[in-house]
Amino acid sequence: MAKKITKKDYVLLFRGGANPEDMTPEQMKTTMNNWMTWMHELRKRNQLTLGHPLDDGGKVLSGAKGKNVKAFKDDKDAVGGFLLIKARSLADATAIAKGCPIFNNGGTVELRAVEDM
Protein backbone atom coordinates (compact mmCIF):
# COMPACT_ATOMS: atom_id res chain seq x y z
CA MET A 1 0.00 0.00 0.00
CA ALA A 2 1.43 3.37 -1.01
CA LYS A 3 1.98 5.95 1.70
CA LYS A 4 -0.36 8.92 1.36
CA ILE A 5 1.51 12.20 0.96
CA THR A 6 -0.10 14.83 3.14
CA LYS A 7 0.29 18.48 2.42
CA LYS A 8 0.80 21.14 5.03
CA ASP A 9 -0.15 24.81 4.95
CA TYR A 10 2.56 27.42 4.46
CA VAL A 11 2.18 31.19 4.40
CA LEU A 12 4.23 33.36 2.07
CA LEU A 13 4.57 36.94 3.31
CA PHE A 14 5.61 39.48 0.68
CA ARG A 15 7.76 42.52 1.48
CA GLY A 16 9.13 45.26 -0.72
CA GLY A 17 9.21 45.08 -4.46
CA ALA A 18 8.29 47.76 -6.92
CA ASN A 19 6.27 50.77 -5.81
CA PRO A 20 3.29 51.03 -8.19
CA GLU A 21 3.56 54.84 -8.04
CA ASP A 22 7.06 54.59 -9.57
CA MET A 23 6.04 52.26 -12.41
CA THR A 24 4.90 53.08 -15.92
CA PRO A 25 1.54 51.63 -16.96
CA GLU A 26 3.41 49.09 -19.09
CA GLN A 27 5.63 48.02 -16.17
CA MET A 28 2.57 47.72 -13.93
CA LYS A 29 0.76 45.59 -16.54
CA THR A 30 3.77 43.28 -16.90
CA THR A 31 4.13 42.95 -13.12
CA MET A 32 0.44 42.15 -12.64
CA ASN A 33 0.49 39.65 -15.53
CA ASN A 34 3.49 37.89 -13.94
CA TRP A 35 1.64 37.62 -10.61
CA MET A 36 -1.58 36.39 -12.22
CA THR A 37 0.27 33.78 -14.30
CA TRP A 38 2.18 32.48 -11.27
CA MET A 39 -0.93 32.31 -9.08
CA HIS A 40 -2.92 30.64 -11.88
CA GLU A 41 -0.26 27.91 -12.10
CA LEU A 42 -0.40 27.41 -8.33
CA ARG A 43 -4.19 27.06 -8.53
CA LYS A 44 -3.91 24.52 -11.38
CA ARG A 45 -1.57 22.42 -9.21
CA ASN A 46 -3.93 22.74 -6.20
CA GLN A 47 -1.20 24.52 -4.23
CA LEU A 48 -2.87 27.91 -3.73
CA THR A 49 -5.40 28.11 -0.91
CA LEU A 50 -5.81 31.85 -0.38
CA GLY A 51 -4.03 35.12 -1.09
CA HIS A 52 -4.54 38.86 -0.88
CA PRO A 53 -2.63 42.13 -1.05
CA LEU A 54 -2.79 44.19 2.14
CA ASP A 55 -3.92 47.80 2.47
CA ASP A 56 -1.22 50.37 3.30
CA GLY A 57 -3.19 51.67 6.31
CA GLY A 58 -3.86 50.08 9.64
CA LYS A 59 -3.03 50.26 13.33
CA VAL A 60 -0.28 48.86 15.53
CA LEU A 61 -1.39 47.81 19.00
CA SER A 62 0.99 47.15 21.87
CA GLY A 63 1.14 47.17 25.65
CA ALA A 64 -1.24 45.53 28.08
CA LYS A 65 -4.48 44.63 26.32
CA GLY A 66 -3.42 46.61 23.23
CA LYS A 67 -3.77 49.89 25.11
CA ASN A 68 -1.17 51.68 22.98
CA VAL A 69 -2.53 52.27 19.48
CA LYS A 70 -0.70 54.11 16.72
CA ALA A 71 -1.09 54.43 12.98
CA PHE A 72 0.68 51.79 10.91
CA LYS A 73 3.70 53.13 9.03
CA ASP A 74 4.11 51.45 5.65
CA ASP A 75 7.72 50.98 4.59
CA LYS A 76 9.75 48.57 2.46
CA ASP A 77 9.89 46.03 5.31
CA ALA A 78 6.12 45.95 5.83
CA VAL A 79 4.15 42.93 4.69
CA GLY A 80 2.35 43.98 1.51
CA GLY A 81 0.43 40.77 0.91
CA PHE A 82 0.31 37.05 1.51
CA LEU A 83 -0.50 33.67 0.02
CA LEU A 84 -1.51 30.52 1.84
CA ILE A 85 -0.22 27.48 -0.04
CA LYS A 86 -0.20 23.71 0.35
CA ALA A 87 3.11 21.87 0.09
CA ARG A 88 4.53 18.46 1.03
CA SER A 89 7.46 19.93 2.98
CA LEU A 90 9.39 23.10 3.72
CA ALA A 91 11.70 22.24 0.82
CA ASP A 92 8.70 21.90 -1.50
CA ALA A 93 7.24 25.20 -0.24
CA THR A 94 10.63 26.86 -0.78
CA ALA A 95 10.70 25.65 -4.39
CA ILE A 96 7.19 27.07 -4.90
CA ALA A 97 8.16 30.41 -3.33
CA LYS A 98 11.20 30.72 -5.61
CA GLY A 99 8.82 31.19 -8.54
CA CYS A 100 7.34 34.35 -7.02
CA PRO A 101 7.44 37.40 -9.32
CA ILE A 102 8.30 39.73 -6.41
CA PHE A 103 11.97 38.83 -6.93
CA ASN A 104 11.86 40.57 -10.33
CA ASN A 105 11.37 43.86 -8.47
CA GLY A 106 13.73 43.43 -5.52
CA GLY A 107 11.14 42.19 -3.02
CA THR A 108 11.41 39.37 -0.51
CA VAL A 109 9.30 36.41 0.57
CA GLU A 110 9.13 35.18 4.13
CA LEU A 111 8.04 31.54 4.20
CA ARG A 112 6.50 30.05 7.36
CA ALA A 113 4.80 26.74 8.13
CA VAL A 114 1.36 27.07 9.67
CA GLU A 115 1.23 25.05 12.89
CA ASP A 116 -1.74 22.90 13.79
CA MET A 117 -3.72 23.94 16.82
Q: What is the mean pLDDT of the chain?
A: 91
β-bridge partners, 53: 81
Identify the domain containing residue 35 by its residue range: 8-57+72-113
How distant is the alpha carbon of residue 71 from its chain centre?
22
Tally the domains of the chain. 1
Instruction: Return the CATH number at 78.
Output: 3.30.70.1060
In a domain, 21, yes or no: yes
Q: Does 89 map to a domain?
A: yes
Q: Pairing state of beta strands 79-87 and 8-15?
A: antiparallel
pTM of the model: 0.86
- By the 10 Å C-beta count (0-12 exposed, 13-18 middle, 19+ buried), 84 is classed as middle
| E strand segments, the chain | 8-15, 48-53, 59-62, 68-71, 79-87, 108-113
Does residue 30 sit within a domain?
Answer: yes
Cα-based angle 8, 9, 14 (whole degrees, multiple of 5): 140
> Is 88 inside any structural domain?
yes
pLDDT in the model for residue 117: 82
pLDDT score at 116: 85
Q: What is the DSSP letter of 101?
A: G
pLDDT tens digit string along 2-55?
666 678 999 999 998 888 889 999 999 999 999 999 999 999 999 999 999 898
Q: Which residues on adjacent β-strands are paired with residue 10?
A: 85, 113
